[in-house]
Amino acid sequence: MKFAYAPESTPLPGYKIKRAIDRGGFGEVYFGIADSGKEVALKLLQHNQQIELRGIRQCLNLKHPNLVALFDIRTDAEGDDWVVMEYVAGPSLDSVLSENPNGLPLPEVDHWLRGISEGVAYLHDRGIVHRDLKPGNVFSENGIVKVGDVGLSKFITPSRRSAQTESVGTVYYMAPEVARGKYGCELDVYSLGVMLYEMISGKLPFDGESVAEILMKHLTEHPDLSRLPAPVRPVVARALEKDPQRRTPGVLHLAREFQGALRGEAVALEIPESHFVDVVRLEIDQSRDVRSTPIPVVVRPETPGPKSQPVTRPQAKPGFWEQFGHELKTNPVLIVAIVVTCIFLFPVMTLGSAKGVMPVWIPGFSTWFVIGALAFWVNRKRRLAGQPHNRSRTRPQPPLPPRRSVNRTGRRDTDRDDQKTGYVERRAETVDRRIPEPVGVERERAEPVSAKGKRAKVYGPETPRFLSWRDRTRELCSALTLAVVWSIVLTSLIGAFQEYLADVPMAQRIVSDSNHAAFFIFTTILGAWAVIVPAKLTEGHGEQSQARWVVGLPLAAAVGFCVWWLQEKLLLQLRVDSVFRGFFEHLGKWDLTSKDGSTPIAGYLAFFVLLFGMGKWWTQADSFRLRRLSIWTVAGTAAFAWLLPLLFRFNQPWGVCWGAAISVVVQLSSPWTRPADRAARVEPVAKTIVAA
């Protein structure tokens, strides 16, 4: 590395340069000795001088044991500006980390964190954001941690918290809001969070092969907390929050939380599930890494050492078949789709059109195929966009930290040593009504108010929440696809078990041949779809029973019509078979039961309209339902279907089977969010409510 000044040169009167120390993003740094013998570091400002000088002038008279002291700003004969500052002989955190690739012992991490946070808190208290916290800027000498490069700091006050043009800091430690150009002290909390993560684990939370990739990860991805010891996970998770408003409120706060976690104290934080990296996606990323052909791109020219190695980024995009191969490995929907396609094709090929199967199989199969393809496409799009996978089904189960002392009101007793405010854990339904706070380390957090005036409650289907159209479509597609699969599985089960029911009175062979099986499969699918589609499209809109019934009942009638049409088409005669005599025979001039013992169209319409009008079927498809599969709901539906022939005679065994099967299929195929994860999904809507 070339430096502008040779040893023994004296560009600044009174100081003799002895050697070059390093080159940072903002200029060269030399070790110099004053005429008196005082050792100093001399920083020559080469780029961005205006910013640098402005920043440094603000900081010139700040004194703190954890900050590298600034002595003077001088201009040499050639008009270059020099900053004269304290020379710190100790190693930088950067070099310490490169000697400890697997992270530092926790007490040592605590030592660094304590020193950095004291120094940075002092800056924050004076309205200054450091903006360039990174291991290369932090030193330890005689057991005292010193934060350097305060020169990059920007003088900000709350009123100036407006858009700032130039990007700042080093990309590995850069908070997401920098990309938007609006930032405050939370920026340093984030950078310190990244450093904390790196000190503990030895790894960067967001690493990549190009600047753009790393920035994108800061913006969209969640750090993999499984590399950290369980007690400190919530602490780091909160420091690395993308939203500055939700981040740990100050650097001192972060240090205190970390110390508390080390002491084993309860931390009133829950890690959002989203902070655990999706294993499936990790696999994809890794396999992409292997494939990529590297071309060198220098990422961090200003920092020497092992991390400044040329970094690479993938050149070729993986081809369709490679993509397909990975999807095959990682996308369960696709695997099921392929298996079921084979199952479908088999009877079509063997039975042929002889039994009139063809006209039913082909449209059914095509519909199903289109939906499956759509599910695959949406999933793929989503993954390529780097968004977390649908966690309700494929999320790995990480070890969760022990549940902590968040009480039912969603409010926690605040830190004992937190004199100013303490913070309040924001639960899902609580909304943070914040005023623009003064720039400081500890900030006032307003009392959370509940959107509905109630405090923490169980989230159910009626809880309003925001679902993006992309999510909605994805969930809908996968639910519709799975409904097909489950219908087939259920029918097979019924087919398998009815042998044993042969002697039971009233038990009737439902799946007696392939036509009956196909009929049952299709009717179950139709019924399930009729529940899932409106439920998914209106999910999260709150309690709107009437509107849902208005949509649901015509759909039920449509299902009834389809069932009737199918049985006509397949030449199946479902005989009326009921233990009850039935109260009605006619509905106006329409027969509900034919004289010949078959059920006419009105019977089917009435049956399905009544079945679907029984209760709030949409709750069975809602991802916030109480249980993934509620046996009681299924039993209740079956019982209701069994009782329906009290009104008019119908084929009771088929009715019961339809009711139970549709209920089971709807529940099994609809995505389900674990109660613990629901809070995270509710929050955005609470915000919009308050904004409105």
Partner 1 sequence: MSAEEDLLGATAMFTPAGSYTLWIDQVGAYVVCLADMIAIGGPSTGVNAADVPLLANLSRRHITFLRSGERYVLHAHAATSVGGRPVNEKCDLADGAELQLGTSVRLRFRIPSVVSGSARLEFLSDHRPASAADGVVLMSDTCLMGPSAENHIRCPAWPSSLLLFRRDGNLRVKGREDLFLDGRHSPEGGILVEGTMVSATDLRFRVERFA
Q: Which residues bind partner 1 (CB under 8 A)?
A: 1, 3, 6-8, 18-22, 31, 33, 37, 39, 89, 141-143, 304-305
**Cα–Cα distance, 284 to 6 (Å, whole number):** 50
Helix boundaries (H) for 45-185: 49-59, 93-99, 106-125, 177-180
Tokens of 103: 């992270």
CB closer to partner 1 out of 141 and 418 = 141
CB closer to partner 1 out of 305 and 464 = 305
- Least separation, in Å, of the C-beta of 107 and partner 1? 18
Nearest Cα to 652, choosing from 602, 603, 579, 567? 579
Q: State CA 168 to chain mean position distance.
A: 27
Nearest Cα to 526, choosing from 500, 492, 557? 557
CB closer to partner 1 out of 40 and 70 = 40
CB closer to partner 1 out of 301 and 399 = 301
Answer for the pair 653, 498: CB distance below 8 angstroms, yes or no.
Answer: no
CB closer to partner 1 out of 100 and 573 = 100
- Least separation, in Å, of the C-beta of 299 and partner 1? 17
Query: Dihedral of CA 40/44/48/51: which sign?
Result: positive
**Cα–Cα distance, 171 to 222 (Å, whole number):** 16
* Three-state DSSP state, 179: helix
Q: DSSP code of 251?
A: H
- Least separation, in Å, of the C-beta of 56 and partner 1? 23
**Cα–Cα distance, 226 to 275 (Å, whole number):** 9
- Least separation, in Å, of the C-beta of 100 and partner 1? 14
CB closer to partner 1 out of 31 and 155 = 31
Q: Which residues is 364 bridged to in the sheet?
A: none
- Least separation, in Å, of the C-beta of 104 and partner 1? 18
- Least separation, in Å, of the C-beta of 146 and partner 1? 13
- Least separation, in Å, of the C-beta of 150 and partner 1? 22
**Cα–Cα distance, 133 to 115 (Å, whole number):** 13
- Least separation, in Å, of the C-beta of 34 and partner 1? 13
Q: Which residues is 24 bridged to in the sheet?
A: 27
- Least separation, in Å, of the C-beta of 111 and partner 1? 15
CB closer to partner 1 out of 104 and 610 = 104
Q: Which residues is 128 bridged to in the sheet?
A: 155
CB closer to partner 1 out of 1 and 692 = 1
CA–CA distances in Å: residue 662 to residues 221, 476, 524, 553: 38, 16, 5, 15
Nearest Cα to 466, choosing from 680, 274, 692? 680
- Least separation, in Å, of the C-beta of 2 and partner 1? 8
CB closer to partner 1 out of 48 and 308 = 308
Q: DSSP code of 177?
A: H
**Cα–Cα distance, 324 to 105 (Å, whole number):** 43
**Cα–Cα distance, 305 to 282 (Å, whole number):** 28
Nearest Cα to 187, choosing from 97, 124, 136? 124
CB closer to partner 1 out of 38 and 242 = 38
DSSP 3-state helix, strand, coil percentages of the chain (rounded to 5)? 50, 10, 40
- Least separation, in Å, of the C-beta of 187 and partner 1? 29
CB closer to partner 1 out of 44 and 194 = 44
